[in-house]
Amino acid sequence: MSTSIADAKNLLDDLIARYSSRVDYLAIRLEESEGTDIFLRGDKIETLSEGVAIGGQVRACYRGGWGFASFNHLGSLSDRVEEAIAAARLVGEEETLLAPIEAIRDTCQMPISGIHPRQIPLADKKALCDRYTAILRGVDPRIATTSVRYADSAQRILLFTSEGTAIDQSWVDMEMRFAATARNGETVQTGRETTGSRKAYQDLTALDDQVRGAAQRAVDALSLPTARGNTYTVVIDPILTGLFVHEAFGHLSEADMAYENPDLLEVMTLGRRFGPPELQIFDGAAPPGHRGSYFYDDEGTPATTTQLIKDGILAGRLHSRETAGKLGEAPTGNARCLNYQYPPLVRMTNTWIERGSTPVKDLFTDIKKGVYARNWLGGMTNGEMFTFSAGEAWMIRNGKLAEPVRDVTLSGNVFSTLADIEAIGDDFYWDESGGCGKGGQSGLPVGCGGPSLRIRNVVVGGDAH
């Protein structure tokens, strides 16, 4: 930081003491980050950069109204505090409702199990991307375009509040994305892979098989028949389960979504049954080692594990201190911001469906005609409706895997789909590829996990005839 950490902490303490009496709540978050960003499109370098960012944010709350200001220079910090307080006092006209938490003074760092990415020269990271590009291109002459992206970021955050919290927290995050598009005449198919880690640079250096698989899927799909659109019983793999629980259900569990939408709040009534008794869904930053893991959220609330669905029944939701206060529930440590330029929002961390008891091979039993879908190409949600594109798919015929098919999309209503879960596999996989977007803050690291699932009545898009 532009001054020593000790000096910065003293400055934040002094400002909090000077200004806290003018508002109901005051928080100053100071952030230092350094990172690498590399993006190769074919052999062309689109991005090759290393940078350091220093800045912070001030949040003030007065009679329920929020003021926010961000800054890049510590010398202007007192002016930004004045601005945030003035804005809060201008709009506040109700009551400040923040669920109480204990004041915490702590210094903590998410543990690294291997080499720190900031110890690796930029040239070595570029060489890694070149190697993966060569693998993608070398799979088949029909590979028309490729892309490889590498990103890492090391963040250190100081959070001081008017309630006495003083937290010094740091972590590192890494991510790689690969894509290959194959072309044969008018037919175009794409394969993708994404992976990430908060543990070690080595987690990104031995992905040759994964990268090759993305390109091979694109090539193989060129000659596959298109799935016939219909409603099927579907078996999905753990990666698609993780995507489904995050995108289709997790966002609806974020309490700011429900609080701002009375109709959704009515639908998301605690105690309502959503799935079979075997269904257990969780979210939490407390499980260590995942991309959504941390010790404290961006309001200083300790990380927790929240059970969202227990025995098929809605049992909890994700909160900031404000949503918890307004709904009379406990804060869950889910207030997160992408960086100092944005205020914290209610966000998922690591979201998963607990493994079940059905052997995976038995998930296919008695399916006369269905679809098995693995991995993902993309997806979108609109409220309670979702559509996902599978990375690979096969028809299921008489309980057995049959011919592979392409262009498989799975769509439906999340509440109907949860109710239509027929069996939950005894396998489980953590997918660390997630970069979540909400409220203009895209790319927030998250983890997703789950077992294979068997679901009836899923609308599968494909060939209409």
Domain boundaries, the chain: 5-222, 230-461
According to the model, what pLDDT value does residue 378 have? 82
Q: Are 322 and 346 in contact (CB under 8 A)?
A: no
Taking the CA atoms of 371, 214, 425 and 307 in sequence, report the sign of the dihedral they define.
negative
According to the model, what pLDDT value does residue 257 have? 86
- Other CB atoms within a 10 A radius of the CB of residue 108 amount to 13
Orientation angle between helical segments 77-91 and 5-19, nearest 10 degrees: 30
Residues 308-328 pLDDT 10s: 999 999 999 999 999 999 999
- Based on the number of CB atoms within 10 Å of its own CB, is 230 exposed (0-12), middle (13-18) or buried (19 or more)? middle
Residue 434: pLDDT band (50, 70, 90) is confident
Measure Cα distances from 154 to 35, 62, 124, 445, 465 in Å. Answer: 6, 33, 18, 13, 52
Three state DSSP letters for 28-49: EEEEEEEEEEEEEECCEEEEEE
Residues 225-276 pLDDT 10s: 999 999 999 999 999 999 999 989 999 999 998 888 889 889 999 999 999 9
The pair of structure tokens assigned to 319 is: 């909160």
Q: 3-state class of 440 per DSSP?
A: coil
Strands 385-397 and 409-413: antiparallel
According to the model, what pLDDT value does residue 160 have? 98
Q: Report the distance separating Cα 438 and Cα 344, nearest Å.
A: 11
According to the model, what pLDDT value does residue 383 have? 85
Q: Report the distance separating Cα 320 and Cα 302, nearest Å.
A: 11
Q: 3-state class of 268 per DSSP?
A: coil
* Type of residue at 196: G
Residue of 392, 397, 400 whose CA lies nearest to 373: 392
Residues 376-422 pLDDT 10s: 888 888 889 999 999 999 999 999 999 999 999 999 999 999 999 99
Task: Give the list of residues 6+ apart from residue 37 with CB closer than 8 angstroms, or none.
Answer: 47, 48, 49, 50, 51, 150, 151
**CATH architecture of residue range(s) 5-222:** 2-Layer Sandwich (3.30)
Residues 179-194 pLDDT 10s: 999 999 999 999 999 9
Q: Report the distance separating Cα 461 and Cα 405, nearest Å.
A: 12
Whose structure tokens read 């203009």?
A: 440
The pair of structure tokens assigned to 381 is: 């949600």
First to last CA, the chain: 62
* Type of residue at 54: I
Orientation angle between helical segments 122-138 and 208-221, nearest 10 degrees: 30
Q: Would you say residue 465 has pLDDT above 50?
A: no
Taking all residues of the chain, what is their mean pLDDT, rounded to a whole number? 95
| Mean pLDDT, rounded, for 86-104 | 97
Residue of 245, 359, 396, 303 whose CA lies nearest to 101: 303
Angle at 384 between CA 378 and CA 386, to 5 degrees: 20
According to the model, what pLDDT value does residue 464 have? 46
Q: Are 361 and 456 in contact (CB under 8 A)?
A: no
Residues 192-211 pLDDT 10s: 999 999 999 999 999 999 99
Residue 462: pLDDT band (50, 70, 90) is low
Q: Report the distance separating Cα 108 and Cα 154, nearest Å.
A: 14
Which pTM value belongs to this model?
0.96
Taking the CA atoms of 7, 9, 13 and 19 in sequence, report the sign of the dihedral they define.
positive
Whose structure tokens read 């601005």?
A: 83
Q: Are 329 and 319 in contact (CB under 8 A)?
A: yes
Q: Report the distance separating Cα 140 and Cα 282, nearest Å.
A: 42
Three state DSSP letters for 200-213: CHHHHCCCHHHHHH
